[in-house]
Structure 1
Amino acid sequence: MGNSVGMIELSSIAKGIETCDSMIKSADVELLRASTICPGKYMVIIGGDTGSVEAAMKVGEEVAAQFLVDKLLIANVSEQLMPAISSTSQVPTEGAIGVIEFYSVASAIVAADTAAKAAAINLIEVRTGFAIGGKGFVTMSGDVSAITEAIKAAEAASELMVHSVVIPRPLDKLYESLM
């Protein structure tokens, strides 16, 4: 995949599909995710080397024009981020659980990357806007102090946070519901 990730969020689904096509044709990037998100928006996530992602993002911003809602580019992304976004993380089901909720998908992605780099936690999932009113949230596991440290770092690096919690001793049923 490379070491960088870029995301563009648009207010038009049709323009989002056109933007996605232009982005992946413009540079040697991998399409990691392209989908509708609530409420009636479209999101494109690409990965690759930093130069290629930057070039594709520039094209995406130009094509999106007035339909651009949000964007991000993260160089040197945590290796835990993409499995958490694509719900393919294989994490231990022990320890505490941390949850951070945001009004913005981009904020949740930045928070997840920051959290994974800040402390010895395991990202469980980064939920990106679908069926949750366009919000984003991050779930993670680890010991209480690591989760607390990760959440503190993520809150400092992100915007539009709604709330965060640390659950010190979750039951196995809660872990099962998150996997």
Structure 2
Amino acid sequence: MSKAIGMIEFKSIPTGITAADLMVKTADVDIVEAQTVCPGKYIAIITGDLSAVKASVEAASTAYESELIDNFVLGNPHESLFPAMYGASEVGEVNSLGILETFDVASLIEAADAAAKTAIVQVIELRLAKGMCGKSFMLLTGEVSAVTASIEKAREIAGEKGMYLDSQVIAHPDQKIIQTIL
């Protein structure tokens, strides 16, 4: 059995809730998160066996294609994603700081997973469209070269769907900025 996560992102709340219901009725999956996000969009993140997650995401995406913004299925997601999503990351020393912003939620999570798998970095925050007019961003840390490589990979992934907005890498950020954002 292969662990996976999947996500749907819809333009409207009624369609999003209906699609989330279809996802859990399609296969044996668990809802990790299902909620409204700015600006009135709806996201649902599920987990389970890879084949079940694929079937659920495909069913919801196909049934409500006209309202779909984006979706994804990730097999074996990086372990740092969930703590970063829920503000539970334990952050030690911040040697460098990578920041990447996207126009949607799904592409950010895909980009964060790719970034975390590219080099030895820690994803420390995933801000998912709440209070940001639908945009999302991630923060990651590690050695400067690792963060740079990870941000470049994340930029490539988000750019494939046209959802990349901006990114920066700060070498040795000042402690005052670290305290402000973390």
Report the TM-score, using the length of structure 2 for normalisation.
0.90
Matching residue of 2:150: 150
Matching residue of 1:5: 5
Is residue 32 of structure 1 aligned with residue 35 of structure 2? Answer: no
Aligned AA for 2:128? T
| Partners of 1:51 and 1:132 in 2: CA distance | 33
| Partners of 1:3 and 1:89 in 2: CA distance | 21
Aligned AA for 2:22? S
| Partners of 1:167 and 1:3 in 2: CA distance | 34
Superposition deviation, residue 81 in structure 1: 1.4
- In structure 2, relative to structure 1, the CA distance for the partners of 1:173 and 1:48 (3 Å cut) is farther
Post-superposition CA distance 1:43-78 (Å, at most 9, x none): 111111101101211222244342111111111211
Superposition deviation, residue 124 in structure 1: 0.7
* Paired residue secondary structure (2:139): strand
Aligned AA for 2:46? I
- In structure 2, relative to structure 1, the CA distance for the partners of 1:24 and 1:86 (3 Å cut) is farther
Superposition deviation, residue 153 in structure 1: 1.4
Aligned AA for 1:167? I
- Structure 2 portions without partners, runs of 5+: none
Post-superposition CA distance 1:118-159 (Å, at most 9, x none): 011100111111111111111001111110011111122222
Which of residues 172, 175, 178 in structure 1 aligns to 2:178?
175
| Partners of 1:63 and 1:144 in 2: CA distance | 44
Superposition deviation, residue 7 in structure 1: 0.7
Q: What is the count of residue pairs matched by the alignment? A: 178
Report runs of 4+ in structure 1 exceeding 3 Å deviation: none
* Paired residue secondary structure (2:79): coil
Is residue 58 of structure 1 aligned with residue 58 of structure 2? Answer: yes
Matching residue of 1:18: 18
Matching residue of 1:162: 165
- Structure 1 portions without partners, runs of 5+: none
Superposition deviation, residue 84 in structure 1: 1.5
Report the RMSD for the aligned CA atoms in angstroms.
Answer: 1.6
Superposition deviation, residue 83 in structure 1: 1.8
| Partners of 1:48 and 1:174 in 2: CA distance | 38
| Partners of 1:63 and 1:85 in 2: CA distance | 28
